[in-house]
Amino acid sequence: MTVGDLSDAELCGLLRAQRFTLRVGPFLVRLRSVMSEVQAALALLYRAHEIDTEADGAHFVIRLDHPGLVRRFFRAQAQLTFDLRQPFIPLPASMAAPMLEAGLNWCIGNYAHQFLVIHSATLERGGRALLMPAPPGSGKSTLCAALVTRGWRLLSDEFALVDPTTGILVPVPRPIALKEGSIDVIARWAPDAVFGPSVVNNEDETVAYMQPPARSVRDSGLTCRAGWIVVPQYVAGADATTTPMTRARALMHLADNSFNYNFHGRVGFDRLVAIADQAPSVTLRYSRLDEGVDAVDRLAQTGAP
Amino acid sequence: MPPRPPRWHVADPSALLFQHWPGEDEHVVFNLRSGDLHLLNPAATAVLERLAEAPASVDDLRASLNQIDASALDAVLESLDGLGLIGPLP
């Protein structure tokens, strides 16, 4: 059963009864909420994700609710609780979807140590994965959103989850976070793309989430191996240019964007070396989305920078 | 400038993992003790590998690594010390 199979009343009831357990890639996420904003976000953005109403346990148990009765009715707020901890300050209730996504990122980034976790958009074509490891503001989510509308399968716009022993990449497809001008860029690029509401976050940025392709969610059991590394750099006005990276620089870049390679010690290091060794790496400077997408497609077709 | 210590060493050579690809100038070294990864140029790599074999004075290093000039050697030792990869022998 998927979220989209539920009526609004069923979704509401499961969320209130703590029987809503969402399968997000390799993770079971139990959510509890009475907030209509959370229900709306799940119904729209997690439509294709499977749920388990009878799951005994979950990897992450999250509550996303009003911080108190007053803040339910007066300038309503949302607060996220994970394991009796509240990692974020309460925010306006309209921010419920970004809080849920930030909460899941926080859980995976801090606790999913069964994986080598790299901050990277990750996509697949032809059985090989494209990693785009980059910090926020580099244009990786924009490029990722554009690529998934052009035949690439979404593994994640936020994480590469690597089995440290085997090197297998495990998909964790979720809504794609877009900010500011990227929202309109992708809306024009892919008129059929479905977005949640745009909201202004506590850094005064407009944020909206794009529904992940249903096929990517359905295929989240299909793993693959790293095939290419592209480090995107959005540079206003720049023509798209790709520049090969040395493997040493690619290794450093993977490590700089990894949450926990050092937690895995020698195994984590050896795995990053293996990825840098097997995947041709380039930096991609771009400003126009069509050129950026074409550059990635060319790289994937030739198999080498 | 503080006096140069008589001898430098790598505290635990077995904790350093080196990675180099043929045809590339730079080396990567992973320090298992700190969990840090470092990108090193050829001069720094040569000094670190030499000290990982055995402690050495600056004069020893100058003699065995004569491709590195004196001022560059001082800078390399200072930066490797700053990264926690080498230290003065007590």
Indicate yes or no: CB of B32 within 8 angstroms of CB of A277.
no
Tell if the CB–CB gap between B39 and A247 is shorter than 8 Å: no
Sequence ranges of the domains in chain B: 8-89
Quote the minimal CA–CA distance from A110 to chain B in Å: 17
- Which residues on adjacent β-strands are paired with residue A139? none
Q: Min CA distance, B16 vs chain A (Å)?
A: 10
Query: How distant, in Å, are the alpha carbons of A117, A142, A204 from that of A136?
Result: 16, 11, 15
Best A269, A270, A271, A278 member to test B by mutation, with max B CBs in 10 Å, is A269
Nearest residue in B to A251, CA atom? B28
pLDDT above 90: percentage of residues in chain A: 76
- Residue A119, classed as helix, strand or coil, is strand
| pTM check: above 0.90 | yes
Residue of A nearest to B30 (CA): A269
Max mean pLDDT range (A79-93, A126-140, A193-207, A218-232): A218-232
Nearest to A248 among B17, B35, B39 (CB): B39
The tens digit of pLDDT for each residue in A9-39 reads 999 999 999 889 999 999 999 999 989 999 9
Chain A closest-CA separation from residue B56 CA (Å): 27
> Could you tell me the pLDDT band of residue B2, with boundaries at 50, 70 and 90?
low
Number of H helices, E strands in chain A: 10, 17
CB A247 to CB B17 under 8 A?
A: no
Cβ contacts of A277 on chain B, cutoff 8 Å: 21
User: CA of B29, closest CA in chain A: separation in Å?
Assistant: 10
Instruction: Please give the pLDDT value at position A293.
Output: 97
Mean local confidence (pLDDT), A165-178: 97
Task: In chain B, count H helices and then E strands.
Answer: 3, 5
Q: How far is CA B83 from CA A24, B36, B75, B80, in A?
A: 40, 9, 12, 5
CB contacts of A262 in chain B (<8 Å) are 35-37
Q: What mean pLDDT is predicted for residues A151-179?
A: 97
> In terms of Cα–Cα distance, which of A123, A220, A134, A128 is closest to A170?
A220
Q: A269–B36: do the CB atoms touch at under 8 Å?
A: no
CB atoms within 10 A of CB A219: 15
Q: How many CB atoms lie within 10 A of CB A30?
A: 18
Give the whole-angstrom CA distance, residue A184 versus residue A301: 29
Tell me the percentage of chain A whose pLDDT exceeds 70.
97
Size of interface A-B (CB pairs under 8 A): 40
Q: Which range among A72-76, A215-219, A249-253 shows the weakest confidence by mean pLDDT? A: A72-76
Angle at A160 between CA A96 and CA A47, to 5 degrees: 40
| pLDDT of the residue at A12 | 94
Closest CA in chain A for residue B26: A248
Per-residue pLDDT band for A305 (boundaries 50, 70, 90) equals very low
Q: Are A218 and A48 spatial neighbours (Cβ–Cβ below 8 Å)?
A: yes
CA distance B73 to A51: 61
Nearest to A25 by CA among A135, A193, A169, A130: A169
Tell me the domain boundaries of chain A: 3-111, 116-302
pLDDT digits (tens, 9 = 90+) for B33-54: 999 999 999 999 999 999 999 9
Do the Cβ atoms of A172 and A221 come closer than 8 Å?
no
Segments in chain A forming alpha helices (H): 8-16, 36-45, 70-73, 96-111, 140-148, 181-189, 214-218, 247-256, 265-278, 289-302
**Apex A111 CA angle, A108 and A114, nearest 5:** 95
Specify the pLDDT at position A69.
Answer: 66
pLDDT in tens, B13-36: 999 999 999 999 999 999 999 999
Q: Do B37 and A248 touch (CB under 8 A)?
A: no
Are A104 and A24 a contacting pair, CB within 8 Å?
yes
Q: How far is CA B16 from CA A92, A253, A266, in A?
A: 49, 19, 10
Sheet holding B27-31, edge to edge: B16-19, B27-31, B36-40
